[in-house]
Structure formats: C-alpha cells, structure tokens
Structure 1
Amino acid sequence: MQLLALALYHRDGRPTPRVVRFRPGALNILTGESETGKSEVLDIVDYCLGRSTPNLPDEPIDQTVGWYALLVTFRDDSRMLLARPRPTGASTTHAMIRTGDETLDLPRADELKQNSNVAALRSELSARLGIEDFRFQPPTGAARASFDVSIAQAALLCFQNQNEIADKKALFHRQTENGIAQAIKDTLPYFLGAAGPEQALRRYHLGEAQRAQRAAQRKLDDARRHQASVDASGLALLRLAQSEGLLDEVPAAPSAEQIRALLEHALTVTAMTVGPADLRDRRQALSEERRAFREQLQDLDEALAVVERWKQQGKAFTGELHLQLGRLKSLHLLGPERDADTSICPMCTRPLEEPDPTAADITLLTERLTDELEQAQTLQPVRDEHRRALQSEREAVVERLRVNGAQLRELAASDERMRDLQEQHLRIARVQGRIDQALTAGTGSSAGDIGRLHNDLTLAQENVETLQALIDEDDVTAETERRLTDIAANMTRWAKRLNLGQAAAADEVAISLSQLNVVLRRPLGRLPLNRIGSAKNWIGYHLVAHLALHTYFRLHNRPVPGFLMLDQPTQAFFPEKIRDATTVQDADWATVTAYFALLRDVADLNEGALQIIVCDHANLTDEEWFQDALVENWRPVDGNRQALIPTDWLD
C-alpha cells in the first residue's frame, strides 16, 4: 500500500479541496518554511489510517478543515479512499470508505458521507495488505490483554515525526505511549515473517491447556485436602459416637472405608428410651390438674367479686329506702288536710297546671316501698349464705393447688435421672446429625474420585507438554533474531556510508527487539543508541534502521504498508527555530545531501516497492534529482504564502 493523494476539505463545503499528491514507488519531498503545516501531514495520514485519538493542531487546521481524505493504491492497482470527518472531541470512530480500480479518485465535497467506522476501515485495510486474521495471545501469566493484529500495529512501522526521529531512547512511532512498545514487540516477529497465526494459535492453546492444568491440579489438591479433613473429622466423630454408646468398638487406625461404614452404622442406632413412662404420664396429669385448679380458682374469684358487688349495692338500696320512708312517716301527722284539693295552689288559690299528688297517693307509695324493703331484707341472708359457700369452695381449691404443687416438687426432686436421660438423648441426636452432615459433605471425595481427578491432571500435563514442545520447535525468538541479523547487514553498510558516530568501529549495527532501539555490536561490547552522542547520529541511525527494515519488508512481501514518512530528518543541522533552511549558509550541507541521497538510493533499490515521503526545511536547489523528487514547496511565490492551508481559507 502506497499513498497517492492527501486532501483537505473546508468546513464550509467549498467544492475545491486542498490536495497534496504523491508519487508511488519513489522519493517524495515536501519542503518549505516553518509553520506551514509540514509536520501536520504525517499526523493527518496517521489519522486517515484509522487512529481513533487524533493529534491534530487546533490552529489553523482544525478551525478550517471539515474532512480529511487519503487516496491509497495497492500492488494489484486497486485503490481505496479513506476519509475521516474532523474530530469533535478527544477521539472519534467515524469514517468513509470507497474502493475501486485505478480510476478511483478523490471525491467532491458534497460526496463526503459517513458510511463506516474505524474498526471496519482497519479491517478492510488489513485484508488488502494481506495481514492474516488472527488474535495475538500474550504468553501465559502476562498481565496484558490479547488483541487483533491489524494495520494499527503495522502503521507504527511507517512513521517518524520530528520528535521521534531524533529520539535516542525510542526507535518506533508512538513507542513511548502506554502499551505501544509492547504491541510492537509482540507483532514485529509476525511482520518480519518469523511468526504467524499458527504460532499465535498454539500459544493460545498452550495458555488454555495451562489454565486447564492448573484447574485440574486445584481440583485434585482440594479433593485430597477434603478427603484428609473428612478422615480426621470422621475419626473424631467415631470416638464421639463411641462415647455416647452408638458404637461398641472403634479400631485405633481405621481406613477411610471403615470410617464411613462405622459412621453409617452409627446412624442406624436408635437412642434408648428416655425415662419411665409412668413418670412422664404423672407429670403430665399433675400439670393438667394444676391448670384446671387455676382456672377453677379464677372462676370462684370472679363469682365472689360479683356477690360482693351485689352486697354493696343492696346496702346502698336499702339505706336509701329507710331514709325515704322516714321522711314519708310525717304524713301520719296530717288531719283534715288530707282531703285538700291538690289542683289549687294553697297560697294564691289559683289552679295548678300540674296537680300535686294527694296524701292518699303518697301513703300508697309509702306502703309499696315498705313492702320492697322487707323483700330486700329477706334476700340478704341468702346472699350471705351464697358468699360463704363460694369462699368455702375457694379455700378447698387453694388447698388442692397447694397439694398439687407439693406433688410436682416431689416429682421434680425424684426426676434427676429422667433429665439426664433427656440430655443424653439430645447429645445422641446432635452426634447423629453431625455424622449425617459429614457423610453428605464427603460425597465425591472418595478414593475413586481422587483417582479420576489424578488421571485428569495427568492428561492436562501431557497436553501442556505436547503444545510446549511445538512452541519450542517454532523458536520465534531465534527466528526473529535471524531476520533482524539480515536487516542489520544493510543498516551496518548504510551507517558507515553516512559516517555515523561509532559506526566505523562496529561489527554490526542492528535493531534490538528487547530494547526497541538501535544497538552497535563491537569487539568491546554492545553499545546502545542512547550512549552515542549528537542528534545527527540519532537521526542517522533512525534513518538506516527504518530504511533497512522496509527494504526487508518489500523484499519478502510482508504485509506492511509500502511507504515510510519522515518528518524533519535534517533538523540537527539547522538552528532550533529556523524559518527557512535555504538561508543557512554554514550548515553541513554535504551531510544533508548524503542523507537525502541515501533516501533516494534506497527508494531506487526497492524498484518501486517502497515510497518514501519526507517533510523537511531543506531544499537542495543544486541537485537535479532532489528537485525531481519535490512534490510541494511551501515557500512564498511572488509574495504569496504557500502552505498546507491555503491563504484564502484563513480569510
């Protein structure tokens, strides 16, 4: 896969996009002044290839651009359009995909529509590149998670921004970000051809087999511990059952089968009768009799209370009658007044509305009250007799309760043995309950079950050993090192060509997979890049490493994009805040020219299979081949500023 064109579409929907076109299979140089957008080209291409967390600057790109589009081509001349809308937050997954033949080109602004997402874009790109569909499985016990191998990892080998290309501690794109270095270590053997889906599948199966082995070991250990616990607790239960009389004799060291048989026998023993039946019946009879006496006593108390209330009410009634009769006796003192007219007021002689009762009426009432008083006085002796009968009956019941209580206390005093038997019965019941629980819990932990679990563990161990042997035969590490050694041949030759520091004395310049950096192998020992001074050397070793790596990819048709993007590879030769490198007269232009000449020669060496895109300040105006490689020159023309974002977009 190589790049044909990069397009930026204005947010206001202008029909004409800003397009940067590239030549496949050749060196492409994009040069210009500072702050013209050269470094952003790499970030935009990375974003179009499916990066979900863009690293695009806010001004002026993000403020003017609404869509980014990348047109790519493949070895079979098919093309693919990868478009992404302007991200609206820290991450985005929206995308647009088009596929076609060599006639496919950039779309119009009104044709940009979201029809896919990042996952589908990466999947399609991975398939077109030939990346096999498999999931990388980390080694057993590794803390990191598995992941699908895709363009996401392959693209890390295709970019070097201006900070990365001069980094003495890291060699690859985004290597210092969390998890990226490990992802490169995990997938570089695959992209080199030292490992494939078969090894990943075997490693996955090995991990599953090792988990199964650990599970089988845990089950066997648990069963053995459980069986030992059951045997110990079973022997203790046997001793306890023997002490309670459930078993006659228990061997000193019984086997597991004997323990289980004796415990099962202890469950069948019926507890002895707990005390004489007559004592139990007598206690029950006395208790029922006591309840009856208490109920009878309560009834008698209630009856006596009623009689007492009657007595008090009778006394009040007869007392009132005596009082009223005493008052009415004065009627006997009347003479002729008895026959007076009671309908006329004796004071004013006027008729009364309600006539007063006559003396005869009052005399009649007095006689009736006298009769009632005599009747009430005749009832009082009857009531007194009834109360005395109730009190006598109550005293008899109280005496019976006293006798009953004495009998119960006497029965309780002679019932000590009965309580002892009851306690023994409860102890026996508890022991048998524990035996039943132990036998139930012990199910599944027999010798036969332990034997089966041991066989399962043996099979799991044999499976692990078989898979481990297959993985050891693959020896991915050794194969990766062999291929890195092949790559080191070009790295060593090109490092000496550029006269990089310590290269002349080195036997080999190579990539260390463990360090993910360049190392020099010398007679005095290995020398890592971070121990070599000068940004010129750091950049130079980055160049030779990535050029040799991609040359190997192209030679062996590996599923890695066929382009390498480099940002500011000559930054070490110019002032830190340079505006235009062409204005610097005292720079080491010979070395700058040598760097670009190496890029040109490596592109030619790969015969169209490798595309190199360089964004840089330098412009070698005296070198015809350099001018032929220019795709954009962002320097003022007739006073008009040239940059990634057109001037009229900023108005």
Structure 2
Amino acid sequence: MHLLALALYHRDGRQAPRTITFKPGALNILTGESETGKSAVLDIIEYCLGRQHISLPEGVITQTVGWYALLVQIGSTRLLLGRPRPAGASTNKAMLLIGDHTLELPAGDRMRANADTDALRAELSARLGIDDFRFEPPAGAERYAFNVSIAQAVYMCLQKQTEIANQQLLFHRQSEPGMAQMMKDTLPYFLGAAGPEQAARQRQLAEATRALRRVQRQIDESQRDNESTNAALHGLARLAQEAGMVQAVPDRASAAELNVLLREAADTVADPSAPPVFGEDGMQERLAAERQALREQLHDLNEAGALLDSWQQESQAFTGELHTQLGRLTSLQLLSAEDAGAPEVCPLCNQALEEPDPDIEQLNDLTRRLQHELTDAEALQPSRTRHRQELNEQIADVRRRLQANASALQALQASNRRLQEINDQHARQAHVQGRILQELQRTTSQSADESGSLRRQAARMQERIAELQELVDADDVRAETESRLSRIALDMTDWARELDLEHADEAEEVRISLSLLNVVLRTETSRIPLTRIGSAKNWIGYHLVAHLALHTYLLKHQRPVPHFIMFDQPTQAFFPEEVHDVGALTDADWEAVRSYFTLMRDVVNRNGQGLQIIVCDHVNLRDDWFRDAVIENWRQGKALIPTDWITEA
C-alpha cells in the first residue's frame, strides 16, 4: 500500500480541497519552516487510516477543516479513506470508496459518511492480505485477546518527531498503555515467524488449559465434599457411641469402617423391657397455676396495705391540725362576753375594721365543733390499727404458701429431670438413627464414581495439552522471530556504520530486540541498548536504520504491511528550532544530514518502486536528487492550511 494524495476539505463546503500529492514507490520530502503544519500531516494520515481520534492541537487546522481524505493504492486498486472532523474527542464515522486507477479525490459536496472505522480497517486489512484471526494471549496472561489488523501494522510505518529521537522506544505509540505488549505479540506474525495456524494452536492450548483448570476445580470440590462427608460420618458415629448404640469409634476410622458402624447403629432397637417413665400428670401445671394465684393475691394485699398506710398518714396530719387550732381557741375561753369590745373596732389601735371580728360566742361555738371532729377522728384509729394487723397476717400467710409452693415445684423439677434423662434415651437414639439414615441416603445417592470420572477426564485433558504444547514448541515462534530479526540486523549493522553512528564500528551486530522493542548493539563483551547511547543524532540514526531495514525485509518477503514509512523531523538534532539555525551548522553536521537523506534515497532505489518514504523536515538541500524528491516547500507564506482559509475563517 502506497499513499497517493492527502486532502483537506474546508468546513464551509467549498468544492476544491487542499491537496498534497505523493509519489508512490519513491522518496517524498515535504520541507518547510516551523509552524507550517508539517507534523500535522502524520497525525492526519493516521486518522484517515482508522484511528478514532485525531491528535491535533486546537488551532487553525481544527477550526477550518471539515473533512480529511487519503487516497491510497493497493496493487491495482485505489481506495478513498475519508474521515469527518470529530464533533467531540473522537468519532468512528468514515467514508470508503473503492475503484480502479481512475478513482480520484472527490469534490467537497460528495464527502459523506458511508462506513465506520471497523469497516475501513477490515477492508484495508483484507486487501493487504492480513489473515483474519484473533490473537489469544498465553494462559494466565493478564491481557485481552484482539483481532490482528492494519491497526497493528501501522505502528511500524509512522515515526513522530517525539518518537524518532526517543532513546526509550522504537515504534509509534509504543509508550501508550498495552501497546508495547501488543507489538511484541504481533511482530512475529508480520515478520512471518507465526501465522493463523500457530495462533489457532495457541488458542486451542489456552482453551484446553482453561478447561483443565475447571475440571481440576471440580476435583478439588469433590475432594473437599468427601472430606466433609467423612467428618460428618465420624461425628455421627461419635453421637451413636454416646447414645450407647455402638462400641468405641477409632480416631482415624476409614470411610468404610464408619459406614459399618453407622449401619450397625441404624439397626439398633431400643430395649422393650425399659418402658418410658413419666411423672405425675399435670402436677407441674397445677403448682404453676397456684403460684400465679398466690402472687396475684399477695399483690392485692400489698396494694390494700399501701392504701391503708396512706389513709393513716392523712388522718394523722388532719388530727394534728385539729389539735393545733383547738389549742389556739381554748385560750379564748378565759374571756367573758363583757370583756369583748366593739367588734367593728380594733382592740389594739382603736381603728375601724372593714369586717367586724367574730364575737366570743362564735369562737366558743367553733371550739366545740373542732373538739367533736377530733373525738370522731380518734375513735377510728383502733379500727385502722386492727385492719392493718389483719392485712399483715394475711400477707405473711400468702408468703408462707408461696415458699411452700416454690419448694414443691423445685422438687418436682428435679424429679422430672431425672425422669427426662431416662425418657430421652430412646428419643436420643431415634434422633441419631434418623440423622444416620439421612446421611447414608445422601452419600449413597451421590455417584460413587464421580471423583474417579473427573480424574480420568483430567488425565485425558493433560494428554491433549501435552500434544498441543509439543506442536506449539515445535513452532518455536521465538526462535523464528529471532532468526528473521538477525537477517534484518545485517542491513542495520551496515547502515549504522555508513552513518557513522556511535559504537557502530565496534559492534558485531546492530539489531532489534523483541523483548526490549528497541535497538541493541552486540559487541564481543556486552550488549548496549539504545538507552545507554548518547546524543539525539545517534538515537535518530538508529531509528532510521532500524525502520529502513525492517521495511526492506517486509517488502522482500511480501509481508502484509503497508509499504510506506513516514518520518517526521529526522534532522531535528541539527535543526532544533527554526530554519535560520542552518547558518550555525558545521560541515560535519551538513554531511550527517546529507547522509541521512542519502541513505533513504538509496534504500528506496534498492527496493525498486516497492517502498515509499515520506519525510517532513526543515532541511532543503541543494542536491538535484533532493530537489527532485521535494513534493511541497512550505516557505514564504505557504503552509498546510492556505492563507485564504485563515483570512476567511
């Protein structure tokens, strides 16, 4: 698959898109100044290839563009891959057109969503020849299965400027969660070291292993049930022993011995010569009823006594008050009627009174009434005293009867406990026999061969797993992958020396490490990963040789991968910011920059028209071959977004 053109459609619906045309099977250089949109080209291409969200910063591109479209060619077929500007963070809408060599970029009014990203990727994967299979992670691995598609192949085709100069990683989006492991899982397939057959065997092995684990859990559960059953049988045998139904039970009795003992206990018949013994019928109920009646009688007597005591206290208070008033009035009897003054005049101050004082006769009459009431009140006291004595005697009698009742009830209960112990013997044996029969019936109803059947099933599964493991081991995907990476390492080593990268001359081999997903140099004494090599110049150089050698191998062996590579800012080690930095470059720097592009040109030529390389960079060399490779030069106001789009926005 090669890229033919990239188109941006204005949001206002104008018909003519902003188009970048690529040359298939050739070196394509898009050069220009900073902030002209060069780095955005890679993000747009990835979005058109099916990524659900476009990783563009908010700005003039997102404000003016309504549709993005990519025209690609696979063999003799052209495909138009269109994606609308996402309304939110992402979208799965897509436009897919398929045609022959006459298919071109459509006008703006023809851009309509007719598919989604799944359909788009499925079509691209099928036309690239990617086998339709699902990768299953090894048994026990804590990651998800996934369908192999162009989604994984694209990671080998793109290098953002933040990735090509990163000593920690080699592939596009490798640092995102789960991506590195996905690349390790799929790289063997894209190299040709593994395929659907190996994946199918891996899947069968994983499924068989999971099935074996399920059966093993059933065996463990059956074993735990058996152990629980033996414990229950042993407990029932102990109960039968305590009930006198069997002799001593061994501490370590087997299941067979326990079954013999329990069946013996189940057949035990109670002694007919020892009939049940019962106490006097209804005695306890009568004593309890009597006790209740006595308690109620005692309660009534106590309430009557409390009422009498309250009456006595009120009477004493009343008579005391009568004595006090009578004592005051008695002293007035010393006066005669002649001694009394005018009742309307105060005898002390001779002042007139509002109400006249009572006369002597009235006071004497009041004294006689009080004496009469006092005599009547004192006459009742002996009667109350006798009544209180009678109540006290009745209360004492009821308490004696309650004590006698309690003693009788306690003696009866003690007697009944002994009788109950005798009577419970047969009931206890009957209860134990019932539990024994229930447990024997339950254990008998279980399949005696259940555990053995599960173990035989597990043995067959283990044989099947061993067979599948032999097939998987025979595939030896790891060894096949390393073998192919060794062939790729031949070109990597030569090109690293050609670029004069650090440690390249002393290295016996420069290769891609599958475990590290990075470049590693192997010397006579050690292995040097890219993380231990300094300078952005070397990091970029090793990224270049790794991807160029990898795609050369993939193209040679016709692996189902898009045969294009896109590098963003491969000379950033020499042009860190603006183009005016060119004046600060030394001749050695210019030679290094030229060597990078020369290598890319030579690799394209070596692969005929099979490999397409797209480079977005600041540099603009004067060499004729370089100028021939330039497809866009974004300087003097030219950029990804036309000036009139910005002024009209």
Which category describes the TM-score, using the shorter chain as reference length?
0.7 to 0.9
Aligned residue for 1:57? Answer: 57
Where do residues 32-51 of structure 1 align in structure 2 (5 Å cutoff)?
A: 32-51=32-51
108-117 or 441-450: bigger deviation: 441-450
Q: 1:414 to 1:505 in 2, by over 3 A?
A: closer
Q: 1:429 to 1:27 in 2, by over 3 A?
A: farther
Aligned residue for 2:255? Answer: 256
What's the TM-score, normalizing by structure 1? 0.76
Where do residues 310-389 of structure 1 align in structure 2 (5 Å cutoff)?
A: none
SS at match of 1:9: strand
Q: 1:273, CA displacement in angstroms?
A: 7.8
- Does residue 7 of the first structure (1) align with residue 7 of the second (2)? yes
Aligned residue for 2:552? Answer: 551
% of aligned pairs identical? 55
Q: Which amino acid aligns with 1:59?
A: G
SS at match of 2:235: helix
Report how many aligned residue pairs link the two structures.
539
Cα deviation digits, residues 590-626 of structure 1 (max 9, x gap)? 22111111111111111111110000111112x1111
Q: Check conservation: 1:185, 1:516, Cα contact below 8 A.
A: yes
Aligned residue for 2:176? Answer: 177
Q: Check conservation: 2:277, 2:423, Cα contact below 8 A.
A: no
SS at match of 1:34: coil
Q: 1:221, CA displacement in angstroms?
A: 3.1
Name the CA distance, whole Å, in 2 between partners of 1:270 and 1:233. Answer: 23
Aligned residue for 1:148? Answer: 147
Cα deviation digits, residues 17-73 of structure 1 (max 9, x gap)? 101111111111111111100010000001111112321121111111111111111
Aligned residue for 2:22? Answer: 22
Aligned residue for 2:474? Answer: 473
Name the CA distance, whole Å, in 2 between partners of 1:462 and 1:413. Answer: 71
SS at match of 2:241: helix
Where do residues 496-535 of structure 1 align in structure 2 (5 Å cutoff)?
A: 496-535=497-536
- Does residue 599 of the first structure (1) align with residue 600 of the second (2)? yes
Name the CA distance, whole Å, in 1 between partners of 2:30 and 2:456. Answer: 68
Aligned residue for 1:223? Answer: 222
Name the CA distance, whole Å, in 1 between partners of 2:557 and 2:277. Answer: 105
Q: 1:277 to 1:96 in 2, by over 3 A?
A: same
Cα deviation digits, residues 364-422 of structure 1 (max 9, x gap)? xxxxxxxxxxxxxxxxxxxxxxxxxxxxxxxxxxxxxxxx9999999767544431134
Find the partner of 1:650 among 626, 646, 649: 646
Name the CA distance, whole Å, in 2 between partners of 1:406 and 1:535. Answer: 105
SS at match of 2:527: strand
Name the CA distance, whole Å, in 2 between partners of 1:203 and 1:407. Answer: 86
Q: 1:209, CA displacement in angstroms?
A: 1.7
Name the CA distance, whole Å, in 2 between partners of 1:17 and 1:267. Answer: 95
Q: 1:6 to 1:426 in 2, by over 3 A?
A: farther
Q: Check conservation: 2:513, 2:520, Cα contact below 8 A.
A: yes
Q: Check conservation: 1:32, 1:580, Cα contact below 8 A.
A: no
Q: Which amino acid aligns with 2:470?
A: A
Name the CA distance, whole Å, in 2 between partners of 1:170 and 1:286. Answer: 93
Name the CA distance, whole Å, in 1 between partners of 2:564 and 2:448. Answer: 66
Name the CA distance, whole Å, in 2 between partners of 1:2 and 1:440. Answer: 76
Q: Which amino acid aligns with 1:181?
A: A
Name the CA distance, whole Å, in 1 between partners of 2:10 and 2:91. Answer: 19
- Does residue 238 of the first structure (1) align with residue 237 of the second (2)? yes
Q: 1:577, CA displacement in angstroms?
A: 1.9
- Does residue 113 of the first structure (1) align with residue 109 of the second (2)? no
Q: 1:427, CA displacement in angstroms?
A: 3.4
SS at match of 2:505: coil
Q: 1:449, CA displacement in angstroms?
A: 2.6
Q: 1:113, CA displacement in angstroms?
A: 1.4
Q: 1:479, CA displacement in angstroms?
A: 0.5
Name the CA distance, whole Å, in 1 between partners of 2:445 and 2:581. Answer: 82
Q: Check conservation: 1:170, 1:516, Cα contact below 8 A.
A: yes
SS at match of 1:500: coil
Q: 1:440 to 1:544 in 2, by over 3 A?
A: farther
Q: Which amino acid aligns with 1:6?
A: L
Q: Check conservation: 1:488, 1:511, Cα contact below 8 A.
A: yes
Q: 1:121 to 1:270 in 2, by over 3 A?
A: farther
Q: 1:200, CA displacement in angstroms?
A: 1.4
- Does residue 452 of the first structure (1) align with residue 453 of the second (2)? yes
Q: Check conservation: 2:574, 2:585, Cα contact below 8 A.
A: no
Aligned residue for 1:90? Answer: 89
Question: RMSD of aligned C-alpha atoms?
Answer: 3.1
Q: 1:632 to 1:429 in 2, by over 3 A?
A: farther
140-149 or 482-491: bigger deviation: 140-149
Name the CA distance, whole Å, in 2 between partners of 1:136 and 1:524. Answer: 37
Q: Check conservation: 2:2, 2:612, Cα contact below 8 A.
A: yes
Q: Check conservation: 1:209, 1:460, Cα contact below 8 A.
A: yes
Name the CA distance, whole Å, in 1 between partners of 2:253 and 2:578. Answer: 93
Q: 1:67 to 1:273 in 2, by over 3 A?
A: farther
268-277 or 184-193: bigger deviation: 268-277
Q: 1:216, CA displacement in angstroms?
A: 2.6
Name the CA distance, whole Å, in 1 between partners of 2:267 and 2:461. Answer: 43
Runs of 5+ in structure 2 lacking a partner?
294-404
Q: 1:426 to 1:515 in 2, by over 3 A?
A: same
Q: Check conservation: 1:227, 1:442, Cα contact below 8 A.
A: no
Q: 1:249, CA displacement in angstroms?
A: 7.0
Name the CA distance, whole Å, in 2 between partners of 1:502 and 1:427. Answer: 91
Name the CA distance, whole Å, in 1 between partners of 2:48 and 2:618. Answer: 24
Q: 1:107, CA displacement in angstroms?
A: 1.6
Q: 1:251 to 1:110 in 2, by over 3 A?
A: same
Cα deviation digits, residues 450-484 of structure 1 (max 9, x gap)? 32222122112112211111111111110000000
Name the CA distance, whole Å, in 1 between partners of 2:227 and 2:149. Answer: 53
Q: 1:570 to 1:414 in 2, by over 3 A?
A: closer
SS at match of 1:571: coil
Name the CA distance, whole Å, in 2 between partners of 1:455 and 1:243. Answer: 41
93-102 or 206-215: bigger deviation: 206-215
Cα deviation digits, residues 615-641 of structure 1 (max 9, x gap)? 0111112x11111111111111xxxx1
Aligned residue for 2:123? Answer: 124
Q: Check conservation: 1:192, 1:480, Cα contact below 8 A.
A: yes
Cα deviation digits, residues 333-366 of structure 1 (max 9, x gap)? xxxxxxxxxxxxxxxxxxxxxxxxxxxxxxxxxx
SS at match of 1:54: coil
Q: Which amino acid aligns with 2:9?
A: Y
What's the TM-score, normalizing by structure 2? 0.77
Cα deviation digits, residues 521-566 of structure 1 (max 9, x gap)? 1112111112222111111111010000000000001011111000
Q: 1:439 to 1:116 in 2, by over 3 A?
A: farther
Where do residues 270-285 of structure 1 align in structure 2 (5 Å cutoff)?
A: 279=278, 283=281
Q: 1:83 to 1:276 in 2, by over 3 A?
A: same
Q: Check conservation: 1:283, 1:411, Cα contact below 8 A.
A: no
Q: 1:245 to 1:158 in 2, by over 3 A?
A: same
Q: Check conservation: 1:29, 1:632, Cα contact below 8 A.
A: yes
SS at match of 1:572: coil
Name the CA distance, whole Å, in 2 between partners of 1:561 and 1:35. Answer: 28
Q: Check conservation: 1:7, 1:68, Cα contact below 8 A.
A: yes
Where do residues 193-204 of structure 1 align in structure 2 (5 Å cutoff)?
A: 193-204=192-203
Q: Which amino acid aligns with 2:281?
A: R
Q: Which amino acid aligns with 1:537?
A: N
- Does residue 609 of the first structure (1) align with residue 610 of the second (2)? yes
Q: Check conservation: 1:122, 1:150, Cα contact below 8 A.
A: yes
Cα deviation digits, residues 250-271 of structure 1 (max 9, x gap)? 6786542342344245345566
Name the CA distance, whole Å, in 2 between partners of 1:36 and 1:443. Answer: 85
Q: 1:245, CA displacement in angstroms?
A: 2.8
Aligned residue for 1:210? Answer: 209
Runs of 5+ in structure 1 lacking a partner?
296-403
